[in-house]
């Protein structure tokens, strides 16, 4: 999944407790990310490359050798991008798409209703528009149509004249719908990244690095990352055919990396290898604000300062998703393709409003799910949580409910919304080391689920109400051993600072090891024995606080959604008490000002001095 220049993975946590914290207020042991050998490596990196000690620790903690530091801190798309032909069926897909462009054929795009699907659809549409083709775009309605292509949608696209259909972020398991397309004379290219069975759907090409016979090593890509490789391969095919010339300029593919970055971060795929380069370069493009729709969305989301991964994952992504969850699923693609400032502002405002409505619906559903889990005592007794509602939850927010359950109890969770017909639409979220997608596909094979699939960390399913207890028992039996082995009992620390050392210039230096996200975690920094000088619970249930030292050092902190948690209780009961604090350092920007803020993960009482 990652290149030789990036290392294989993170350094294994050492055995000793960091700051002697064997049990924090959240019940975790703090461990140093670096063992003795990695600490020596960090020292060598710092000296050889003249890096701040903390940055050197972060780099060493990600398994980077001294010779690979320069390449890691400046990931090159040229160096990390594979030959697209390495992906199975890529050459056939690129040749067919190039032929459609040269012939001016009618092309249709059918994408998933999430951010990855929206960005993939928009990327292919921009590529086709550049070449004079205005594609038909269909994003299935989450409730009315469900995930992926369906015969009715295929028939409508064929009736509209489509000769070539490209499915993006879906299609790998859509045997019936794609067979229907073939019967209508429509050729299909599948561009996807979801785990799939050995049997391929009936398509001209299935470009999916997670198909069994694909040896490209790019299985960590989001669908938009695969789609970008397709446009690279197609542009190459057109170039080789002599299509470009004085009257036909080649598109600047790098200008569309903002779409690739957004889809990659929002789909929570590992930010290693090519993905890391995609996001690093895509953020640079996005900060230029050349994409009218994305700039309007950033303004509607009130993004302050340069756009980073946090903004993509927690501010822009959720707003695009809001259309697919509770509104018009096509709104996200429309915004991403919009070049009119006024229209983009209107679309962005609509998505922002839908996102606020989604937050309210989600909050009520999460409260009900948590109450049900607590009432049954399942938070302590179950390895896998399965929460459901009888006709009360909107199907568009079940994935968010599952995510909140997973966060609260640190175990895999499903949330299922049943309709009046007894059919449930559900979504699951997992923890590291527990493959939810494989479990869901196994339940489909056993006849427990009508349909389902997904990734290791997230999956979707459709189930009959009568099979709910059977599904719960199946998941518990199948996943309990993996959950037991994966249970998060420690917090990995990258280094320690005092409040005075937590400076903006240091945070900006640490950004060189980013972008941070899945597979490349943000550095967790500890503040040893700092006095909790301020504590306040916000209306949203967050806890704002500050940590101070005797020499006048002070750093602001916030613990999100911690009001009714063990962390929140410890903070509210420890004003003016010295605590070890651990979290991620971020820069808060407001009205042109920049200020350091620690996003808290945990606190612990310092061990008594003997």
* Same domain for 496 and 455: no
Residue 2 clears pLDDT 50, i.e. is over it: no
Q: Cα 506–511–517 angle (5° rounding)?
A: 130
**pLDDT grade for 16, boundaries at 50, 70 and 90:** confident
* Same domain for 210 and 84: yes
pLDDT tens digits, 378-430: 988 999 999 999 878 999 999 999 999 998 888 999 999 999 999 999 999 99
pLDDT of res. 10: 52
* Same domain for 507 and 460: no
Calculate mean pLDDT across residues 446-472.
93
Calculate mean pLDDT across residues 149-177.
96
**pLDDT grade for 91, boundaries at 50, 70 and 90:** very high
Q: With respect to residue 59, please indicate whether it lies within any of the assigned structural domains.
A: no
pLDDT of res. 12: 45
Phi, psi of 103 (to 5 degrees): -90, -5
pLDDT tens digits, 73-88: 999 999 999 999 999 9
**How many folded domains does the chain comprise?**
3
* Same domain for 520 and 453: no
* Same domain for 519 and 454: no
Question: Model pTM greater than 0.95?
Answer: no
Last residue of a domain, one of 452, 486, 520: 486
**pLDDT grade for 432, boundaries at 50, 70 and 90:** confident
Cβ neighbours for 226, distance < 8 A, ≥ 6 positions apart: 87, 120, 191, 192, 193, 207, 208, 209, 218
Residue 5 clears pLDDT 60, i.e. is over it: no
Domain with residue 462: its CATH number is 3.10.310.30
Helices (H), 427-467: 436-445
Last residue of a domain, one of 205, 228, 253: 253
* 3-state secondary structure labels for all residues of 217-256: CCCCCCHHHHHHHHHHHHHHHHHHCCCCECCECCCCHHHH
Residue 609 clears pLDDT 70, i.e. is over it: no
Q: With respect to residue 10, please indicate whether it lies within any of the assigned structural domains.
A: no
* Same domain for 240 and 182: yes
Report how far residue 5's alpha carbon sits from residue 475's, in angstroms, rounded to the nearest whole number.
39
Alpha carbon 70 to its chain centroid, in Å, reads: 26
* Same domain for 212 and 197: yes
* Same domain for 532 and 481: no
pLDDT tens digits, 185-241: 999 999 999 988 899 999 999 999 999 999 999 999 999 999 999 999 999 999 999
Pairing status of strand 578-590 against strand 593-604: antiparallel
Q: Is 415 left (phi over 0), alpha (psi -120 to 50) or beta?
A: beta
Residue 69's CB is within 10 A of a number of other CB atoms, namely: 22
Residue 375's CB is within 10 A of a number of other CB atoms, namely: 8
* Same domain for 508 and 386: no
pLDDT of res. 15: 61
pLDDT tens digits, 533-575: 999 999 989 999 999 999 999 999 999 989 888 999 999 999 9
pLDDT of res. 487: 60
Half-sphere exposure of 386 (CA within 13 A, CB side): 21
Lowest mean pLDDT among 48-62, 105-119, 277-291, 369-383: 369-383
What range defines the domain where residue 437 resides?
A: 377-486
**pLDDT grade for 600, boundaries at 50, 70 and 90:** very high
Tokens representing residue 333 in the block: 């693609």
Question: Which element (helix H / strand E) includes 101?
Answer: helix 90-103
* Same domain for 89 and 233: yes
Cα–Cα nearest to 268, from 431, 157, 411, 391: 431
Token pair 């040269």 is found at 102
Last residue of a domain, one of 466, 486, 506: 486
* CB 461 within 8 Å of CB 484: no
- Residues linked to residue 164 through DSSP beta bridges, in sequence order: 107, 187
Q: With respect to residue 283, please indicate whether it lies within any of the assigned structural domains.
A: no
Report how far residue 53's alpha carbon sits from residue 132's, in angstroms, rounded to the nearest whole number.
53
């Amino acid at each position: 999944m990652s290149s030789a220049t990036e290392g294989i993975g993170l350094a294994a946590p050492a055995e000793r407790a960091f700051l002697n914290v064997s049990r924090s207020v959240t019940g975790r042991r703090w461990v140093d990310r670096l063992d003795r050998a990695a600490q020596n490596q960090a020292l060598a990196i710092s000296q050889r490359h003249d890096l701040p000690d903390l940055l050197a620790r972060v780099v060493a903690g990600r398994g980077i050798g001294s010779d690979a530091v320069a390449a890691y801190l400046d990931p090159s798309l040229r160096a990390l991008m594979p030959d697209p032909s390495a992906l199975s069926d890529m050459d056939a897909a690129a040749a067919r798409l190039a032929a459609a462009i040269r012939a001016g054929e009618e092309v249709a795009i059918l994408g998933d209703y999430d951010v990855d699907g929206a960005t993939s659809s928009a990327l292919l549409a921009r590529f086709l528009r550049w070449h004079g083709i205005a594609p038909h775009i269909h994003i299935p309605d989450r409730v009315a149509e469900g995930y992926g292509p369906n015969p009715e949608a295929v028939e409508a696209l064929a009736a509209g004249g489509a000769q070539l259909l490209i499915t993006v972020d879906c299609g790998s398991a859509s045997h019936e719908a794609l067979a229907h397309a073939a019967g209508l004379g429509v050729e299909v290219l599948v561009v996807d990244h979801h785990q799939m069975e050995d049997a391929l759907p009936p398509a001209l090409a299935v470009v999916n690095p997670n198909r069994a016979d694909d040896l490209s090593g790019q299985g960590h890509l989001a669908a938009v990352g695969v789609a970008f490789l397709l446009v690279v391969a197609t542009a190459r095919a057109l170039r080789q055919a002599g299509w470009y010339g004085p009257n036909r300029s080649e598109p600047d593919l790098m200008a569309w990396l903002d779409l690739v970055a957004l889809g990659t971060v929002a789909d929570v795929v590992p930010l290693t290898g090519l993905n890391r380069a995609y996001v690093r370069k895509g953020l640079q493009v996005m900060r230029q604000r050349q994409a009218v729709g994305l700039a309007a969305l950033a303004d509607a989301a009130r993004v302050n300062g340069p756009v980073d991964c946090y903004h993509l994952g927690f501010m822009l992504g959720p707003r695009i998703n809001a259309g697919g969850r509770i509104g018009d699923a096509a709104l996200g693609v429309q915004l991403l393709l919009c070049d009119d400032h006024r229209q983009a502002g209107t679309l962005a405002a609509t998505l922002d409003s839908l996102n606020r409505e989604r937050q309210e619906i989600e909050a009520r559903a999460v409260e009900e799910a948590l109450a049900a889990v607590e009432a049954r005592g399942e938070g302590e007794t179950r390895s896998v949580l399965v929460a459901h509602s009888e006709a009360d939850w909107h199907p568009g927010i079940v994935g968010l409910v599952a995510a909140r359950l997973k966060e609260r109890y640190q175990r895999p969770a499903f949330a299922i919304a049943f309709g009046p017909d007894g059919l449930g639409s559900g979504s699951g979220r997992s923890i590291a080391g527990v493959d939810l997608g494989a479990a869901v596909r196994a339940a489909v094979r056993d006849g427990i689920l009508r349909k389902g699939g997904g990734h290791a960390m997230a999956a979707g399913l459709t189930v009959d109400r009568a099979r709910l207890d059977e599904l719960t028992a199946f998941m518990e039996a199948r996943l309990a051993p993996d959950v037991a082995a994966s249970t998060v009992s420690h917090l990995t620390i990258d280094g320690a600072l005092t409040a005075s050392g937590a400076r903006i210039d240091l945070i900006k230096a640490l950004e060189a090891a980013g972008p941070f996200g899945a597979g490349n975690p943000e550095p967790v920094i500890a503040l040893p024995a700092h006095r909790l000088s301020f504590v306040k619970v916000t209306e949203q249930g967050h806890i704002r606080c500050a940590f101070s030292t005797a020499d006048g050092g002070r750093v602001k902190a916030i613990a999100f959604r911690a009001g009714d948690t063990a962390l929140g209780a410890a903070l509210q009961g420890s004003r003016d008490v010295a605590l070890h604090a651990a979290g991620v350092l971020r820069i808060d920007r407001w009205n042109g000002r920049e200020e350091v803020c620690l996003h808290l993960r945990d606190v612990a009482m310092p061990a008594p001095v003997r």
